[in-house]
Amino acid sequence: MKVSVVVPLYNEEENVPELYTRLKTSLEALPNEYEILFVDDGSSDSTPVILDKIRTTDKKVTVINFRRNFGQTAAFAAGFDHAEGDVIITMDGDLQNDPADISKLLELIKDNDIVSGWRRSRKDPFMSRRLPSMLANWLISRVTGVPLHDYGCSMKAYKSDVVKNIRLYGEMHRFIPAVAKWYGVRVAEVETVHHPRLRGKSKYGISRTVRVILDLITVKFLLSFSTRPLQFFGPFGLISAASGFLISLYLTIEKIISGTDIGGRPLLLLGALLIIVGVQIIGMGLLGEMVVRVYHEAQKKPIYVIRRINGDEAQ
C-alpha cells in the first residue's frame, strides 16, 4: 500500500523546513512506500524556492506550483490528480496538524474508505474560528446525514479511487465525506492532535463560514436532486400553478353568476401571478433535467457506482 501525502502551502516559508523534516520522520517510520506532494498555491514568499531545494535532494517529493492563488480546495484537487498512492493523506502545511498522526489514520483506512481527523481540542481563536465552526459542523452533519464532529479538519486519509472520482469546487474539500457517502463509502473518524499556529498567519477568517454554508446548500441540492431536478422544482411549480388556477376559476365563476366586475380585484393579479410563476418553475425543472442529462452524458458519468463485479474490485 503506497501512501501519498498532499500538503497545500500558501506563504508558509517559516513552516516548510520543519514540516518537511517532521513529515519525513513520520513517513520513514512506516513500513509503506510513500511520496510527498507539496502544492504551492501561488505563494509570493520564498515557499517555492524552499520547496525546489527539497525537491532536488529528495526523489520522493513532488512539487506542484500554481500560477496564482487558487485556494486550499484547488490545491487538494491538484494533489489528488497527481498522487500515485493507494491511500492519500491530506494535511495542513502550517504544522497545526501533526505528521505523527499519519500512522493512526493508516491503521483505520484498512477497513474504511475515508478516515477523517477530529481536532477534539482545537487550538484556534474561539470567536472567529471555533464558534462558527461548531455551528457549521452541527449544520453540516444535520443536512448531509454524515455524522462527523469536525468536517474542517484537513488531516484526512482517503482510498485513492474514492477521491479521484470526486470533482471539487469552491470550499468543498470539507464535503468530500458527505459527497463520498453518496458513493457508498465507509467513513470513520479518529481524534487527531491540533497545535496552535506558531509561525506565519492564518489565511482565513470568519468570512469563510458564509462560503461554507453556501457550499453546503449546493452540496445538499446536488446530492438529493442532481439526477432528478424536476422532482425538486415540480412540487413548488404545481402548487403555485394549481392555486393560481383555483383563484382564477373562482373569479370566473363569480363573474358569470353575479356579473360583478373582476378587473380591479387584487385576487385576479395574484391568480395570474401564481399561474405564471408555477409554469416558470416547472420550466426550470425541465431545463434542469436537460442539463443533468448533458452533464452525465458528456462525462459518461453513470448514475450509480459499482464496488465489485464478479468479486473483482471495480475502478
By CB under 6 A, residue 192 contacts ligand UDP: no
By CB under 6 A, residue 72 contacts ligand UDP: yes
By CB under 6 A, residue 150 contacts ligand UDP: no
By CB under 6 A, residue 92 contacts ligand UDP: yes
**Closer by beta carbon to ligand UDP, 69 or else 227:** 69
The item of ligand UDP, Mg ion, none sharing an interface with residue 71, based on CB under 5 to 8 Å by kind, is ligand UDP
If you search the block for the grid coordinates 503506497, which residue do you land on? 2
How far is the C-alpha of 214 from the C-alpha of 167, rounded, in Å? 17
The count of residues in the chain is: 315
SS3 for 10-69 is CCCCCCHHHHHHHHHHHHHCCCCCEEEEEEECCCCCCHHHHHHHHHHHCCCEEEEECCCC
Of the ranges 47-55, 86-94, 97-105, 217-225, which one interacts with Mg ion (CB under 5 A)?
A: 86-94
**Closer by beta carbon to ligand UDP, 15 or else 112:** 15
Choose, by CB under 5 A, the member of 14, 40, 41, 94 that binds Mg ion.
94
Packing angle, helices 207-225 and 131-144, rounded to 10: 0
DSSP secondary structure code for residue 178 in this structure: H
Strands 156-159 vs 187-191: parallel, antiparallel or unpaired: unpaired
By CB under 5 A, residue 150 contacts Mg ion: no
Q: Which grid cell is 306?
A: 459499482
By CB under 6 A, residue 171 contacts ligand UDP: no
Choose, by CB under 6 A, the member of 48, 71, 237, 244 that binds ligand UDP.
71
Burial 240-257 (b: 16+ CB within 10 A, else e): bbeebeebbeebeeeeee
Q: Which grid cell is 232?
A: 425538486
By CB under 5 A, residue 72 contacts Mg ion: no
**Closer by beta carbon to ligand UDP, 91 or else 274:** 91
By CB under 6 A, residue 10 contacts ligand UDP: yes
The item of ligand UDP, Mg ion, none sharing an interface with residue 79, based on CB under 5 to 8 Å by kind, is none
The item of Mg ion, ligand UDP, none sharing an interface with residue 76, based on CB under 5 to 8 Å by kind, is none
Q: What is the binding site for Mg ion (CB under 5 A)?
A: 94, 96
